[in-house]
Structure 1
Amino acid sequence: MKITVENTEELENSIKVAFATKDLESINAHFGGAKEFIVYNVSKDGFVLDGVIKTDTSEMTGDDKTDFKVKALKGINIMYCESIGGTAAAKVIRAGMNPMKVQEPRAIEEVLKELIEMINTNPPPWIKRIMNIETVEDPRLERWTDE
């Protein structure tokens, strides 16, 4: 079951970021135990709520739980959680998501603002790739221009 939120605002070159949460305000759930993930589209211009993905797997067992969550989060670029096991992290990465752990519960809005700041100042290459940001000055390119 997926809850969709009608969104009128289109963010260009945005990334989808999911947060494992118990209260829709903080990153405060373990990946495996998260009953829902709140999803935002984030771009250099800001963020908009994309929806909430329900992932209650209390009726499931073992690997089914992880597989269900990974499928539910299809299309997500970055997934924040309080913690995640090694096997689950490997499945998340294979599904094309970047798992991020927080040391202690953090306000989602705070992390969203940090992401926007990072995108606008010095995004790592994998973020640039996801967002189709033109790489203007890549030191690796200089090596090949003189040939």
Structure 2
Amino acid sequence: MKVAFASKDNIYVNEHFGWCKKFFIYEIKENSYNFIKEVESKEKIENELDKLSYKIQCLDNSDILYVEQIGPKASLLVKDSKIFPIKASNEKEKIEDVLNKLIKMQENPPIWMRRIISK
């Protein structure tokens, strides 16, 4: 399961999806996770739909997108791309804590996670 985080520092989930300049991609395998790569998303695009499509491409086929904020249109486009968007509970939510929470969730996964696991 691949998770993309919208973050300024690869420590906290602290970026808005549409304004994010880089995404940090992690992979969860069973009871562990590892950092895969950092993806730049700095390109300035005026057209809203084109900008959101570009941001989705930057997610590198992730299964989950974890953000501080995401607009309703962006959220729908992300879901249409078969990526599950999740808003952080607060600006101080650590990526490491989220990854550990997602690992724990696999024990009794919610429906959306079951779909990802069964891929």
CA distance in 2, matches of 1:25, 1:113: 14
Structure 1: 4+ residue segments shifted above 4 A: none
One-letter code of the match for 1:86?
Answer: P
Deviation of residue 95 (structure 1)? 0.4
* Percent of matched pairs sharing the same residue: 34
Instruction: Provide the residue aligned with 2:50 in structure 1.
Output: 64
Unpaired runs of at least 5, structure 2: none
Counterpart mapping for 1:28-39 below 5 A: 28-39=14-25
Match of 2:12 in 1: 26
d(CA) in 2 for partners of 1:131 and 1:77? 9
Report how far residue 26 of structure 1 moved.
0.7
Give TM-score scaled by structure 1 length: 0.74
Higher normalized contact order (CA 8 Å, seq sep 6+, divided by chain length): 2
CA displacement at 1:44 relative to structure 2: 2.1
Distance 1:24 1:85 in 2: 22
* CA RMSD in angstroms, aligned pairs only: 1.5
- Name the count of aligned residue pairs: 117
Are 1:74 and 1:95, in contact at CA under 8 Å, matched by a contact in 2?
Answer: no
**1:108, CA displacement in angstroms?**
0.2
Amino acid at match of 1:111: V
**Retained in 2: the 8 A contact 1:31–1:84?**
yes
Computing the radius of gyration over CA atoms, which structure comes out larger, 1 or 2? 1
Where structure 1 has 5 or more consecutive residues not aligned to the other structure, the ranges are 1-14, 134-147
Matched residues in 1 for 2:45 and 2:37: separation? Answer: 24
Which residue of 76, 89, 92 corresponds with 1:90?
A: 76
Give the Cα separation in 2 of the matches to 1:90 and 1:37. Answer: 19
Counterpart residue type for residue 108 of structure 1: I
Taking structure 2 as the reference length, the TM-score comes to: 0.91
